[in-house]
Amino acid sequence: MTVRYAFKIAYDGRYYNGFARQPDQRTVEGEIIRALREEGLMEDPKRAKFRVASRTDKGVSALGNVIAFDSVKEIKLWNLYELNKRLEGIWFYGIKKVSSNFYPRHARMRWYRYYMHVDDKFNIEKFLEACSLFTGKHNFRNFAKIEGKKNPCRTIENIVIEWKDENTICLDFFAHTFLRHQVRKLVEALKKVGREEVDIFLVKEALNNPSIKIDFGTAEPRNLVLMNVYFDFEFEEDRDFYNEIYRIIEELASENYADK
């Protein structure tokens, strides 16, 4: 008899060529599946219905992504410590038994954080005005990588801005789902408004008239972190271990890679 489990995972995206498995590439998913097989917790990912909440891109890290799969073995929180020994820059820290039809992509909310570096010339008032444009439901065709006939409309529930220090802004985005590259493209547009490289009128035009193609660029991936994925239940977690991972992820994601 199989039991379905969901797991909270974190990873350093700098080590991997994105989350999703790719031929001849080192990916987060590929390494997790290898480790699960070695621990005897899963054999065939297809048969085990292996799923993930968010497939992050190359360079993007995570503090609270979620995976799920069916296992013929009972898995406890302490089993995750042995699993972590087989992984580099990937950490399991939470577990939950879930129903057989649970799919992590059906999350209630996702939270992404971007660590953005600014200088004394940065126009914070224009930046904040631009941030206010993106909350609510919009067609984000000019602020995402749209593949095929994918619906470009998304609803951003909230954008929260906090100062980590005098030169670093934590820019938090909350939404049910995001489009590919959406957060990084939004950040790049906001950054250019704050640097007064782009007029806010052009950002409004790109948002309100998606048929007009305007590309503001895509921000550096290594400053982006998937902070959490929310469900209507709580995970059993090692909070002390989580706090250790939080410090690691924050330190690496808040580096100023533009200066390197």
The yes-or-no answer on residue 57 being catalytic is yes
Q: 12, 24, 44, 57: which one is catalytic?
A: 57
The three state secondary structure string of the chain is CCEEEEEEEEECHHHCCCCCCCCCCCCHHHHHHHHHHHCCCCCCCCCCCCEECCCCCCCCEEEEEEEEEEECCCCCCCHHHHHHCCCCCEEEEEEEEECCCCCCCCCCEEEEEEEEECCCCCCHHHHHHHHHHCCEEEECHHHCCCCCCCCCEEEEEEEEEEEEECCEEEEEEEECCCCCCHHHHHHHHHHHHHCCCCCHHHHHHHHHCCCCCCCCCCCCHHHEEEEEEECCCCCEECHHHHHHHHHHHHHHHCCCHHHC
Catalytic residue numbers read 57
